[in-house]
Amino acid sequence: MKPNHLENFWMPFTNNKDFKADPRIITSAKGMYYTSAEGKQILDGTAGLWCVNAGHCHPKIVEAVTKAVNTLDYAPNFHFGHNDAFELSNRLAMQFPKNINHFFYTNSGSESVDTALKIALAYQRARGKGTKTRLIGRERGYHGVGFGGISVGGMVKNRMYFGSLLNGVDHIRHTHDPVKNAYSRGEVEHGVELADDLERLVSLHDASCIAAVIVEPFAGSTGVLPPPKGYLKRLRTICDKHDILLIFDEVITGFGRLGTMTAAEKFGVEPDIITLAKGLTSAVVPMGAVGVKDEIYETMVENADAPIELFHGYTYSGHPLACAAALATLDAYEEDEMFKRSADLTQYFADAAHALKGTKHVTDIRTIGLAAGIDLESREGAVGARAYNVMKSMWDKGVMVRVSGDSLAYSPPLIISKAQIDQMFEVTAKALKEN
């Protein structure tokens, strides 16, 4: 394919000029590997974009979607419905924290976040707490790219170009402390007291004005930042104390990344709302979801001031193909014991990543579950250039990795083998020595 054939596609989160001058085109995928336009096998070190948890083209999922498109191509879920949407909700309710039993469907993580924020505000109004309208995010947080998501998010480049964003949003401090928590494995030792920064915002705004707090159980897109030990439990305690909803954005942590169905399960903390996407369908069909506690759903239904309880939804909410993909994905996770596999590989994965300590340009390494972040020394006057070049070099050597600034991020499919883990980090070491 000639570069000029690429010009009309405005690529997301991409250096379009650089890519179109030297494209990295994918033509097919299977299992742990992509195939490039040149016919080279590329080990997927990122599960696509944190999403292909079951591996590429899993036969059970492919079969289910193929059958679905030949049976029910589309059905609206406004005043009508189809069986798979209800079955999927029942399946999720059985596997999620015990009080989260109601699920609203979206098409992406960004839509899930905006939906969760709207539900939080609507719920507060429905229960007679209409002054609770303020939303609290966290510095360095990533919650998608909708206006709600970038408002509560805390990644500067995602916010700075788009005006004043939503009103009534504030942020607690991030938890990243590379001095005290360098080269960490799992939850970090220092920083539990940073949860108390929420008390500062309660003092500033008053709890009567705060609807919800949203955090990622571990921050992903900003460079894989595990939470301090006890941090999420303390946030839960503070939210309970002040009657504030706690939202876990589990778009990347859901469905096995930490060896469990949810990070809520892994850390023993039950939020009021959970946002989902990515691994829900192993990315075969775009889909997201928002799970809410019974009290939220029941309050909305019982106290509605109109026949419709929530004036919100999407044309493709609960799309038949997406539901079929999600049901088959849940089957694949269970039958292939992928979450157990993820948990069993955590130590090996961490050992392989941390073996890069002392490698040229490496300044920090963090691992949690089957996710890793490796910070690199920035070039003078060119932040992000080194990691970007390492990413391109790794592609040439047969491994795909993500970059965020001068951090490399790893989040492979849960089906990865030990030999493939070794390959991933051995290629990283070679690329680092060249850049």
pLDDT 10s digits, 18-28:
999 999 999 99
**Per-residue pLDDT at 2:** 55
Mean pLDDT of the chain: 96
Amino acid at 53: N
Report which of 264, 206, 205, 209 is spatially closest to residue 235, judged by C-alpha positions: 264
Higher model confidence: residue 163 or residue 273? 273
pLDDT at site 4: 73
Provide the pLDDT confidence category of residue 373 given band limits of 50, 70 and 90: very high
**Domains assigned to the chain:** 3-54+337-434 (3.90.1150.10), 64-335 (3.40.640.10)
- 189-215 tens-digit pLDDT: 999 999 999 999 999 999 999 999 999
For range 316-339, the mean pLDDT: 98
164: confidence class by pLDDT, cuts 50, 70, 90: confident
Residues paired with 102 in a beta bridge = 292
Q: What band does 305 get if pLDDT is binned at 50, 70 and 90?
A: confident
Give percent of the chain above pLDDT 90: 96
Sheet containing strand 26-30, strands side by side:
26-30, 33-36, 41-44, 399-400
Give the pLDDT of residue 3: 52
Of the candidates 224, 222, 237, the residue with the CA atom closest to the CA atom of residue 268: 237
Q: Which residue has the tokens 């039950």?
A: 270
Q: pLDDT tens digits, residue range 350-372? A: 999 999 999 999 999 999 999 99
Global model pTM greater than 0.95 = yes
